[in-house]
Chain A
Amino acid sequence: MLLNLYRSLWSYRGFILGSVKREFQARYRNSLFGALWTVLNPLSMIVVYTVIFSQIMRARLPGVEDGLAYSVYLCAGLLTWGLFAEITTRSQSMFLENANLLKKISFPRICLPVIALLNAGINFAIIMGLFFGFLLISGRLPGMALLALIPLLILQVMFAAGLGMILGVLNVFFRDVGQLFGICLQFWFWLTPIVYPVSILPSGIQELIRLNPMTALMNSYQNVFLYNQWPDWNSLIPLMVIGLLFCVMALRLFRQRVGEMVDEL
């Protein structure tokens, strides 16, 4: 079955790559500043958070006496969370948004999640490129620990794609799913130590926050960027298990419901 999916993806690679390219172009076709907006959005968010938390609320990272350190901490979490949020929200709406195409043209449906994934990936790559530029200029580029980003990102994308696909299929049948997940994502963001370090919380709540599988992932990113520290791989096992589970469930759900889906659109 996986082989079949792969085969149809390969034969429609032109369509997938073309769609990714066109979506990217379409977004900036009638805007004057083009790709700049991809950058300005998260940039403004980082500025807002940095100003509010590190300047106004005087938040400091424990043990680091450096104004920029907080910005790096924030970016490490915020940008990677951005990738997670974009993959899941895009995936949950991809079938609904392409309802017309699905109803009228026969093509491998598995192309859609792949396109959503690649689009999110491109945006992430642009932002990451800028972040690395900033790290380089400010002389904060971490060392070898950066290699840990590769497995971390693979893990994150797997988790996000699995979850997104499940939401995408469910959203076709129960439109509440999309609404609900939007709200959940908000809570999830604030229940994950991205804007604040987990150490500022009371110890009881710290334990609760650690139950969130995304906490370990975000910590790993932050440690890589801020302290050039290798992740604690054991802490990532829950995320990996859940991620794998999601992927298996997603593929099963997709295969079972892909035909019925068209009838519901």
Chain B
Amino acid sequence: MGHIRVSGLGKAYKQYPNRWSRLVEWMVPFAGTHHHLHWILQGVDFEIKPGEAVGIVGVNGAGKSTLLKMITGTTQPTCGQIQLEGRVAALLELGMGFHPDFTGRQNVFMAGQLLGMQIEEIEALMPEIESFAEIGDAIDQPVRTYSSGMQMRLAFSVATARRPDILIVDEALSVGDAYFQHKSFDRIRNFRKAGTTLLIVSHDRSAIQSICDTAILLENGRMAMHGKPEEVMDYYNAMLAQREGQTVRQEMLANGQVQTISGTGEAGILSVRLLDAQGRSVEVAEVGQPMVLEVQTEVREDIERLILGFMIKDRLGQAIYGINTHRLDKPVTDLSAGERVTFRFAFDMRLGKGNYSVALSLSRLDSHLDRNFEWRDYGLVFHVINNRQEDFVGCSWLQAQTTITRSSESVVQTEVSQ
């Protein structure tokens, strides 16, 4: 149970040149085909053994959702085969089929029936569903009075009320509050321990790496890679970085405003790299690891003064740390065209685990408002993981030194003195 075998899978949509051609194709005998196929997914082969957890990654439009939809059976493949053993549960469209005018309880029955359960089964599972969703008396209120988080809780509780042999999870799952997210992830982990095969789509590196045994990378509708999560994620991130770099460049060309601010671009950034202690370029850093941020710049015209600034932002875009060479009192002066300047900033990665991006600016003074040679967002994206240090929460590693003193006598004394 829980076996997934996908072979030669492909999905194409029919595209007709005009609205009449489908009619012609259907009605006129021997008219031949009038459509051409637009391939979304092609030549996908993989096998997932029972109890294995596989992550699927890829940029938007790579075909992830189409693949999952075909595995769950909502969409039929154009070619190839999918063999599934066991009961499949999909956490793709939670709350689909909820009717706003009916109460939560009635909707639980509805959703359960849509999953093919019988009334008696749902009745038996009801107490469990109620207690997991933790929405209290709201269960007997119409769903239209629910917040989206409450709907999500209820929908998740129904969808996972029975342990499936195969569980398919979309990253959309990460709605709901942190408490419930944690709780739902715990449930998924428990299913896994009990032998459920897991197929998960996510952009969250830590989620993929902490849960999955292997990962599959989809690129332009094809399987670009199938291997260890770390390797696949590294490759994926490199791919992303490349893409992002391109879009930035394109935007800068297309957007006149950027050019006016940056003047003629007297200086520009050539490359941004994060290096580990051995000088290797990395995208993943361990908490506490010594790192070097290396920025190569190019001077295109004679300038009297050059300041490089960088800012590390978390995934919400909030500044975590920013500094420039003016404040560090290291301005580079009297540069001539054609010169290359390489900046290296060494620091210990005292950040919490998560995704971070680095924004960079080249300017004349402290502020980039005066003469902004180049400003670049997302110059670099990196991940911080925590496998070596204590498991802390938050975005900065303060490396607390702990001293604990126990003294029972003083407590006794105070009691006596009272």
Write the residues of chain A forming the contact surface with B, with a CB cutoff of 8 angstroms. 11-15, 18-19, 22, 25-26, 29-30, 100-107, 173-174, 258-260, 262-263
Contact = CB atoms under 8 A, between A and B. Distances in A.
B42 interface: no
A262 B113 contact: no
Contact of B109 (A18, A29, A259): A18
A104 B110 contact: no
A30 B118 CA distance: 28
A106 B72 contact: yes
B74 A262 contact: yes
A103 B96 CA distance: 10
Contacts of B96: 100-101, 104-105
A105, A173, A259 — most chain B CB neighbours (10 Å): A105
Interface stretch (B97-105, B176-184, B255-263, B316-324): B97-105
A19 to B, nearest CB: 8
B74 A260 contact: no
Q: Which 4 A-B pairs have the closest CB atoms?
A: A259-B76, A106-B73, A15-B113, A104-B93
Interface string B84-111: 0000001011001101011000100110
28 contacts: A13-B118, A14-B112, A14-B118, A18-B109, A18-B113, A18-B119, A22-B106, A25-B102, A26-B102, A29-B101, A30-B101, A100-B96, A101-B96, A101-B114, A103-B74, A104-B96, A105-B114, A106-B72, A106-B73, A106-B90, A107-B114, A107-B116, A173-B26, A259-B75, A260-B14, A260-B76, A262-B76, A263-B13
Nearest to A104: B93
Contacts, number: 65
B376 interface: no
Nearest to A253: B26
B22 interface: yes
Nearest to B118: A14
Given A22-B102, A101-B96, A262 B75 contact: yes
Interface residues of B, number: 28
B218 to A, nearest CB: 19
A38 B16 CA distance: 43
Contacts of A12: 113, 116
Interface in B1-47: 13-14, 22-23, 26
Given A14-B112, A106-B73, 5 more contacts: A14-B119, A22-B102, A105-B114, A173-B26, A258-B76
Nearest to A258: B76
Binding site secondary structure of chain A: helix
Interface of B: 13-14, 22-23, 26, 72-76, 90, 92-93, 96-97, 99, 101-102, 106, 109-110, 112-114, 116-119
Contacts of A106: 72-74, 90
A14 B99 contact: no
Contacts of A258: 76
Contacts of A30: 101
Contact of A14 (B14, B90, B101, B117): B117
B366 to A, nearest CB: 53
B97 A101 contact: yes
Nearest to A173: B22
A74 B102 CA distance: 38
Contact of A105 (B22, B97, B117): B97
Contacts of B110: 18-19, 22
Contact of B113 (A14, A25, A100, A259): A14
B114 A15 contact: yes
Contact of A104 (B14, B74, B113): B74
Contacts of A14: 112-113, 116-119
Nearest to A15: B113
A26 B76 contact: no
Contacts of A107: 114, 116
Contacts of B72: 106
Nearest to B11: A263
Contacts of A260: 14, 76
A162 B54 CA distance: 44
Nearest to A16: B113
A231 to B, nearest CB: 36
Contacts of B75: 259, 262-263
B93 A105 contact: yes
Nearest to B106: A22
A174 B26 CA distance: 11
A11 B23 CA distance: 36
Nearest to A11: B116
Contacts of A18: 109-110, 113, 119
A26 B106 CA distance: 12
A156 B96 CA distance: 35
Contacts of B101: 26, 29-30
